Amino acid sequence: MFWKATEATAIAILATFAAAKPFVASPSDGSIISRPDVEPFPHNSGRLRPVSSPRTKTCSVTALGGGEDDASQILDAFHNCNSGGTIVLDGDYTIATALDLTFLDSVDVALSGSITFKADINYWVANSFKYDFQSSTAFWKIGGKDVNIYGGGVGVIDGNGQPWWDGFASNSSLLRPISLVLDGLQGGSVTGIRMINPPNWFNLIANSSDILISDMVLTAKSSNSNPVKNSDGWDTYRSDHVVIQNSVIDNTDDCVSFKPNSTNIVVQGLNCHGSHGISVGSLGQYVEQYDIVENVYIYNNTMSDASDAARIKVWPGVHSDFEPILSGGGGSGYVKNITYEKYESTNNDWAIEVNQCYGQSNKTLCELYPSNMTISDIYFIDIWGTTSSKYDPKVGTLVCSSPEQCYNFYAKNVSVTSPKGKSQWVCSNFDTSGLEGFDCISG
């Protein structure tokens, strides 16, 4: 399914990334930054990226400054430069009004300045774009076809998350917007942008296909005792043929999460810190929905100081109240053909977690109502490193709710140890014969 470069070439490109030189230099003479020539590497999602048509016009937006709302003039620029133009955002912009940019056709966005979302919580709660899935909301949404957004390593999207995290500390039902939503985008890329402090997730890729994400830096840090909340790096949802690569993420929730109906996805060359892992799910949350995650290749990534490195999480077959705005269970579907290969774990609580009882702490209830989600054809290859002391001497947990719902699990060259130098794995309710070298114990 996936195109593969030679081993030597793959090592060379990843060594370049490790040297922290992933970005195109920003011009110092005030000229427009150029779209970088970035391709999926060393793997693609199974088909070549669409070719962008020529850009023949330019629309520059002058920032109003002083915290004034730049949304209307940004919207005008997208209308004026639609169908073959480049929008230049080289100032410091404030967005205080919801922007629907899902009408785009053959547009580039050259962001060498910054975009900050005004923290007018009352306005955004009333006017942000709403999604049924997990009560998600958005400041803006970008869609259409053939859209490239690039920042040359200097462009910034600032979600201004601190007031939202402060508000969430006293109101756990507060719906906080996602910093960037690609919704219904067919063919496009987001590259070379720094993103900071999202109120909720950094990115959602929804109802989209043929998307490339590359050379990004994502950072979420609280300035007080109220923690960052739900700062997923990228969530994919109802999307196909997506590559996310060569980026650095320092956050507090999933580094990448494959939500319902994510297919043909590649994640490669990420350096993730402090997260909940590169995760399949959660899935099976909604009774009326049939969820699929299939053909996902997670290659040559590092994970440190996280709850998990590799993670698969699906809801049980009964309703569960997990958090004030996160509950569910009883949905059906399947997870199939998921590969984690060349994965370094450093001080993560679990190197691998498979959980068919997400959101429900009552183990007996989970056994009475096993998940309706099938998990099969799962591969863990060349995974190494250490875990934290939290579960020492255990290093991973693979717990299914029934053997009928979990099968064809394989592991090879997995060498992860706890601080005590042990390597015990909790394994239950599936055939463990394909887990090469695993010391399995019951949970």
Distance CA 61, CA 71 (A): 10
Q: Strands 439-441, 424-428: parallel, antiparallel or unpaired by DSSP? A: parallel
One-letter amino acid of 112: S
What are the Cα distances from residue 257, in Å, to 89, 108, 141, 279?
30, 27, 19, 5
Give the residue numbers annotated as catalytic, written as ranges. Answer: 276
One-letter amino acid of 342: K
H/E run at residue 166: helix 162-170
H/E run at residue 12: helix 7-18
Helix, strand, coil abundance in the chain, percent, nearest 5 = 10, 50, 40
Sorted by sequence, the CB contacts under 8 Å of residue 288 that are 6+ apart come out as 331
Sorted by sequence, the CB contacts under 8 Å of residue 55 that are 6+ apart come out as 84, 85, 86, 106, 107, 108
CB 82 within 8 A of CB 70: no
Query: Which of 225, 152, 226, 164 lies closest to 197 in space, CA to CA?
Result: 164
H/E run at residue 213: strand 209-214
Quote the DSSP letter at residue 43. B
